[in-house]
Amino acid sequence: MQRLAIFSAALLAATPVPLAAQGLPVGACINTGNHLESPKENGWGGKRLDPADFRNIADAGFQTVRIPVRWDSHAGSAPDHAIDPAWIDRVALLVDSALDSGLNVILDSHNFEGLHADPAAHRDELAALWTQIGARFADRPTARLWFEIENEPHDQLNNLNLPQIYAPALAAIRASNPDRPVIVGGEFWSGVNSLATLNLPDDPHIYPTFHYYDPFAFTHQGAQWPEDKQPMGRVYGGAADAQQLAGDVAKVRAYIARTGKTPFIGESGAYEVIPLNQRVAYTAAVHDAFAPLGIGLCTWAYTNTFPFYDHDKKRWLPGMLAAMGLPEKGE
Ligand code: BGC
């Protein structure tokens, strides 16, 4: 039975993805991490990002950077929800540094918790935020700056209500950015299973994404923030893990076949308390399994929570770049 499943997964893996289904040119991508996604910049620790970080990321061979940004805690009251000018300037400095370094940029709204808890009550606020973000970045290159309406829908925001809740935000973006790529991830923290029922808005410049932290018992062992806390000691790489990964690749192939759209992985990674050789093994397994589909992979993250780069030692953690298909950087 297990051999049959592995055999069918191998057959599926050999089927080429049609050209028309190619998605955004994400390629090797890295999330900047938590720096801008807490209520206060660097509220969750780490060094402040500066323009040199984006040159460092580009020099390592990454094509794209995903910059998670919390907007709602830097915005005023209804109806305008005016974003603090110092905050949008700070984000613009980093976005422009990334663009100037030759990187593609994914700019999202991250951790807008009110939206997930009560989507209808926060729908207009989401649109007001995107009106301002859209206007501010409208003149940046359409081919290289992409918006993501909200990170990881969860709680009350799900695949059923998502198109309706996102509609005003998308219209707000389209008022100033008629054909900029806009990224949408599905319910339940955008896990791979969300793709099966993800209904995208009817717009030619919408791109689907999903996040991949499976098996969660491995990637989030020792982490204190999930409700579902996982004990340490889970090792990655057995036959069951390989079978799960092959099955998940098959789900993504089925999604591409059904919709004609190729999603990319907006987040994937393993927590830093896990031994480095295990983090490398996991990252390589995920990269290698999904690469034949031609989909991009944004690893989580640059220097904090699940770091790839050690700012104190000024070096990329050994093995992590190679796991992403990039050349290793010497000591
Ligand atoms: C969260 C981070 C977290 C990561 C892995 C991200 O979406 O914003 O805070 O470290 O997922 O759980």
∠ CA 317-98-128, rounded to 5°: 120
Around ligand 1, the residues with Cβ closer than 6 Å are 34, 37, 110, 151-152, 267, 300, 305
Report the nearest atom of ligand 1 relative to the CA of 152.
7
- The crossing angle, in degrees rounded to 10, of helices 85-100 and 51-59 is 30
From ligand 1's centre to the CA of 209, what distance in Å? 15
The model's pLDDT over 50-60, given as tens digits with 9 standing for 90+, comes to 999 999 999 99
Residue located nearest, by CA, to atom 12 of ligand 1: 220
Q: What is the per-residue pLDDT for 304?
A: 85
- Per-residue pLDDT band at 44 (split at 50, 70, 90): confident
Ligand 1 centroid from CA 70, angstroms: 12
pTM of the model: 0.93
The pLDDT of residue 57 is: 98
pLDDT in tens, 274-326: 999 999 999 999 999 999 999 999 999 999 889 999 999 999 999 999 999 99
Q: Give me ligand 1 centre to Cα 111, in Å.
A: 9
What would the mean pLDDT of 214-219 be, rounded to a whole number? 98
3-state secondary structure labels for all residues of the chain: CHHHHHHHHHHHHHCCCCHHHCCCCCCEEEECCCCCCCCCCCCCCCCCCCHHHHHHHHHCCCCEEEECCCCHHHECCCCCCCECHHHHHHHHHHHHHHHHCCCEEEEECCCCHHHHHCHHHHHHHHHHHHHHHHHHHCCCCCCCEEEECCCCCCCCCCCCCHHHHHHHHHHHHHHHCCCCCEEEECHHHHCHHHHHHCCCCCCCCEEEEEEECCCHHHHCECCCCCCCCECCCCCCCCHHHHHHHHHHHHHHHHHHHHHCCCCEEEEECCCCCCCHHHHHHHHHHHHHHHHHHCCCEEECCCCCCCCCEECCCCEECCCHHHHCCCCCCCC
pLDDT (average), residues 13-38? 77
The atom of ligand 1 lying closest to the CA of 305 is 10
Per-residue model confidence (pLDDT) at position 8: 41
pLDDT of 151 > 50? The answer is yes
- What pLDDT, on a 0 to 100 scale, did the predictor assign at position 1? 32
- Interval 242-267: pLDDT, tens: 999 999 999 999 999 999 999 999 99
CB atoms within 10 A of CB 68: 25
Nearest to 92 by CA among 45, 150, 134: 134
Q: Which atom of ligand 1 is nearest to the CA of 31?
A: 6
Mutation probe of ligand 1 site: the residue of 304, 305, 308 with most atoms within 8 A of C-beta: 305
Percent of the chain at pLDDT > 90 equals 89
Atom of ligand 1 nearest to the CA of 110: 8
Nearest CA to ligand 1 atom 10: 305
CB of 282 closer than 8 Å to CB of 271: no
Could you tell me the distance, in angstroms and rounded to a whole number, from the CA of residue 178 to the centre of ligand 1?
A: 30
Mutation to probe ligand 1, out of 225, 273, 283 (largest number of atoms < 8 A from CB): 225
Tokens of 271: 């927590």
Beta bridge partners of 268: 212
Gap from CA of 55 to ligand 1 centroid (Å): 24
In the reported structure, the alpha carbon of residue 331 is separated from the centroid of ligand 1 by a whole-number distance in angstroms of 28
